[in-house]
């Protein structure tokens, strides 16, 4: 059973160069980006300076995931978050600039 799934997955990977799959991959990429942009726009509209937020999702660097902070400033498409933990790693001033899609409003 596991061997069959592995073979099916390998077959899909081998066929990724086919034009049919290329179009499908482009469509999936477009839909994922559109969904992320929509979520980001909703979040950006609902968050204001002073709100408490949590950093979510895949982050770089990874140690930011789950950290909390307060919105200090709004930019056009990003937000400046002052981390509750203070200076962390390369963020020596304790501030991180994040896209809204990486934030969720808390409390």
* pLDDT tens digits, one per residue of 70-92: 999 998 889 999 999 999 989 99
Q: pLDDT (tens digit, 9 = 90+) per residue, 20-45?
A: 777 888 888 999 989 888 887 888 88
Higher pLDDT, 107 or 51: 51
Q: Count structural domains, the chain.
A: 1
CATH number at residue 92: 2.30.30.30
Burial of 101 (C-beta count, 10 Å sphere; 0-12/13-18/19+)? buried
What is the predicted pLDDT for the residue at 1?
A: 57
Supply the range of the domain harboring residue 96: 2-105
Q: Quick check: 46 and 105 in contact, CB under 8 A?
A: yes
15-19, 58-62, 65-69, 97-101 — most confident range: 65-69
- List Cα–Cα distances, 5 to 2, 8, 10, in angstroms: 5, 5, 9
């Amino acid at each position: 059973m596991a061997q069959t799934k592995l073979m099916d997955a390998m077959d899909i990977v081998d066929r990724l160069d086919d034009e049919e799959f290329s179009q499908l991959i482009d469509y999936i990429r477009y839909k994922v980006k559109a969904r992320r942009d929509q979520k980001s726009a909703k979040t950006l509209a609902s968050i204001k300076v002073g709100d408490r937020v949590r950093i979510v999702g895949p982050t770089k660097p990874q140690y930011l995931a789950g950290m909390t902070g307060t919105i200090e400033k709004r930019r056009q498409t990003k937000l400046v978050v002052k981390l509750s933990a203070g200076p962390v790693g390369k963020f020596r001033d304790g501030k991180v600039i994040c896209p809204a899609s990486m934030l969720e409003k808390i409390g």
